[in-house]
């Protein structure tokens, strides 16, 4: 692990100037794309597709396994981001896991507030199953708001009587839109990306005056029983640290197999910085192994 790399990344993230006037949502979307977007890695083929009635980006690594499918839900506070902004990160995870992947372009707030994103996630998941994908051959992943959306998609699937996938990997998931975690305040100075007002603004755009404790908005408050094994990766230097810590505790109490990894000195969705940060590469490798191990376990169970 590289302390100089972590320090350099922290300094880089802190060097981004904050505008004097609050940017519009469109300006935030453009700025996020310019700051974070990376192309899919070499050897990963991309194509435009549609899933669950929404545009999506298909990513297929060379030599991908004949079986096994990954559904990815991107981050961005439910208001910004897209499969294009996340093509690099998602492509890296797909490449390391050797899995055909679909990254969903779900509807964004404020044009499409809650529960539009959950409806889109469920429609995509439902179509994967309806098209013949065995749930034991399906895994789900997401980052930040997309991590929360991954959970709420599966909660909605459970309510609809649909089977669960083999496993779920979450990077810095945003699971509590009430912002009640102690780290929201305790980690504000350590977080090089957000201040509390940023998170509150995103929650306002997504939920407006709706109840922020409802499980399909804040899955931290849901009964998680019956969900598949979870891997949760989070940095210690982020305001939503407690969203992951409390999620892991809740999942364990509800009988869900859960693995929580906290990266010392790391920021929100540090996995974006693969190739420049040793911890990001190591975390993506562990996430890939986690997903493929549970896919293999499901196949062995089928044979038996």
Q: What is the CATH number of the domain that holds 261?
A: 3.40.50.1820
pTM of the model: 0.97
Give catalytic status of residue 272 as yes or no.
Answer: no
> Which residue in the list 60, 74, 103, 144 is annotated as catalytic?
144
The greatest distance separating any two alpha carbons of the chain, rounded to the nearest whole angstrom, comes to: 62
Q: For a pLDDT cut of 70, what percent of the chain falls above it?
A: 98
- 125: containing domain: 3-303
- What pLDDT score was predicted for residue 12? 94
> Which phi and psi angles does 110 have, rounded to 5°?
-85, -5
Band of pLDDT at residue 99, cut at 50, 70 and 90: very high
Which tens digit of pLDDT belongs to each residue from 110-142?
A: 999 999 999 999 999 999 999 999 999 999 999
- What pLDDT score was predicted for residue 303? 54
> Which residue in the list 60, 92, 238, 279 is annotated as catalytic?
238
pLDDT at 302 over 90: no
> Which residue in the list 268, 272, 273, 294 is annotated as catalytic?
268
What would the two tokens of residue 277 be?
A: 């940060």
How many domains are contained in the chain? 1
Mean pLDDT within 72-100? 98
Which tens digit of pLDDT belongs to each residue from 158-209?
A: 999 999 999 999 999 999 999 999 999 999 999 999 999 999 999 999 999 9
CB atoms within 10 A of CB 130: 10
Cβ atoms of 87 and 94 within 8 Å: the answer is no
Give catalytic status of residue 268 as yes or no.
Answer: yes
Give catalytic status of residue 238 as yes or no.
Answer: yes
Band of pLDDT at residue 65, cut at 50, 70 and 90: confident
Which tens digit of pLDDT belongs to each residue from 3-16?
A: 999 999 999 999 98
């Amino acid at each position: 692990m590289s302390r100089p790399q972590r320090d350099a990344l922290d300094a880089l993230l802190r060097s981004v100037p904050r505008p004097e006037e609050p940017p519009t949502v469109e300006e935030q979307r453009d700025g996020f794309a310019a700051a974070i977007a990376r192309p899919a890695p070499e050897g990963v083929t991309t194509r435009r597709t549609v899933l669950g009635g929404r545009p999506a980006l298909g990513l297929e690594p060379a030599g991908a396994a004949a079986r096994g499918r990954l559904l990815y839900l991107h981050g961005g506070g439910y208001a910004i981001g897209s499969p294009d902004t996340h093509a690099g990160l998602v492509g890296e995870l797909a490449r390391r896991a050797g899995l055909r992947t679909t990254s969903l372009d779900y509807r964004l707030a404020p044009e499409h507030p809650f529960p539009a994103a959950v409806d889109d996630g469920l429609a995509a998941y439902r179509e994967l199953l309806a098209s013949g994908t065995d749930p034991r051959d399906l895994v789900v992943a997401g980052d930040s708001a997309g991590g929360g959306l991954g959970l709420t998609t599966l909660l909605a699937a459970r309510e609809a009587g649909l089977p669960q996938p083999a496993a779920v990997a979450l990077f810095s998931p945003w699971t509590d839109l009430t912002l009640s975690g102690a780290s929201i305040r305790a980690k504000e100075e350590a977080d090089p990306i957000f201040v509390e007002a940023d998170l509150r603004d995103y929650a306002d755009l997504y939920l407006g005056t709706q109840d922020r404790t409802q499980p399909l908005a804040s899955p931290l408050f849901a009964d998680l029983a019956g969900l598949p094994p979870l891997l949760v990766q989070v940095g210690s230097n982020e305001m939503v640290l407690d969203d992951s810590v409390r999620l892991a505790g809740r999942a364990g109490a509800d009988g869900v197999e859960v693995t929580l990894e906290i990266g010392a000195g790391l920021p929100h969705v540090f996995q974006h910085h693969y190739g420049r940060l040793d911890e990001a590469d190591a975390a993506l490798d562990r996430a890939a192994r986690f997903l493929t191990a549970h896919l293999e376990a499901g196949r062995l169970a089928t044979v038996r």
